[in-house]
Amino acid sequence: MKIKTTFSVFLAAIWFVTIFSSSARSATVEEVFSGINKLPANERQKRLEEGAKKEASVTVYSNTGLESIRAYQDGFAKKYPFVKIDTTRLQGAKGLDRILLEHRVGKLQADVVGVDFDYIEELLKAGVTGRYDTPEKKFYANPFWDKNGFWYASDYALLVIGYNTNLVKPAEAPKTYQDLLNPKWKNDLSIDTEPEQAVFAWLLEWGEEKTAEYMKALMRNGTVARNGHTLQVQLLCSGEIKVAVEVYAARVAQMKHDKGCPLGMNFTNPAPASVGSHRGIAKSAKNPHAAALYMDYVLSAEGAAVLAKAGGLPARKGAKAAYEEVSNLEEKGVRMLMMGHEDMPKVKEKGYKLIEEIIIRKQLR
């Protein structure tokens, strides 16, 4: 009898420890969202805010420009003053490497991570982001959100040929990429040292052979490679360069109106465009409720408005850009070649190889 009693107590102890451990286990980020998304809209929002108040902070790794970062940060802080937001700007391959390294060693600091469209595949393969189903996705076309909820994009980027209107008459400004090969532009052209978006678009539109030939001809025409798309717009503004091969339309319009710069732009046919910053909530997020609020805010009508005011191009349906030159482009007949990460297997490796050989190392034969 004593042995039976002892054995029964032992079994009961195991059962208690098992049940207690199971209930004590913290829910994963995806489990938190799964439960919240089953709630009615008002209750869902209430639950997110209650959780965010307890978390009290959210950390964001962003690859966008400083003005967009400040706009989102200020707008979010105003809407949710009980959440302290800390944003770190990480760009390009170096930003991706930091995110992957922190994730690999289990020390990812960010709750929300953002990368360019040509880097999101690496995050997905590494399993950095978790599933999150935001109610705001219905206001975006399919290219701007992942069907599994691993990332969302609120904006898009668009490239144009930019020029200084004091130095180049609008009627004489280059309107096509072929126009840039005209000898009259020799030594007056500028291109970024990282022109991936333009090169990827050329590869998709022209193929590898024609793209390589074009890039070599462009560099033979005295095109100077400079680091920074924003820098090139600033140099256009000051008159230090006449024409920029591929600069962001939104930045040109912003500098023209806000700084009074003598700038003009021409949209090529097609105009290279890409889905903007791909943001996802980290699987390891320490502040999942605040992260969800941030994601919803960025994708909201309010988020689109602050993005436009900061000079960005919102992708949300019904949202307008702040400047007429970059608004209602499809109605104006601008044909955009919109690229997403699904296009990258076709062009990424080839594009980087051509940039390194032709733009950086100037192998022009």
Q: Does residue 270 have a cis peptide bond before it, meaning omega lies within 30 degrees of 0?
A: yes
Rounded CA-CA distance 134/33 in Å is: 10
Question: Along the 365 residues of the chain, how does pLDDT read in single tens digits?
Answer: 333 344 444 434 433 333 333 333 457 999 999 999 899 999 999 999 999 999 999 999 999 989 999 999 999 999 999 999 999 999 889 999 999 999 999 999 999 999 999 999 999 999 999 999 999 999 999 999 999 999 999 999 999 999 999 999 999 999 999 999 999 999 999 999 999 999 999 999 999 999 999 999 999 999 999 999 999 999 999 999 999 999 999 999 999 999 999 999 999 999 999 999 999 999 999 999 999 999 999 999 999 999 999 999 999 999 999 999 999 898 899 999 999 999 999 999 999 999 999 999 999 88
Rounded CA-CA distance 348/96 in Å is: 15
**What fold characterizes domain 27-155+276-309?**
D-Maltodextrin-Binding Protein; domain 2 (3.40.190)
Q: Do domains 27-155+276-309 and 157-273+330-360 have the same CATH topology?
A: yes
> pTM for the complete prediction?
0.86
Rounded CA-CA distance 123/101 in Å is: 11
Chain centroid offset of residue 141 CA = 16
AA identity, residue 226: R
Q: So where are the chain's domains?
A: 27-155+276-309, 157-273+330-360
Q: CA 266, 267, 272, 278 torsion: positive or negative?
A: positive
Packed helices 301-309 and 66-79: angle between N→C axes, nearest 10 degrees: 140
| DSSP assignment letter at 95 | H
For the domain made up of 157-273+330-360, the CATH class stated in words is alpha beta
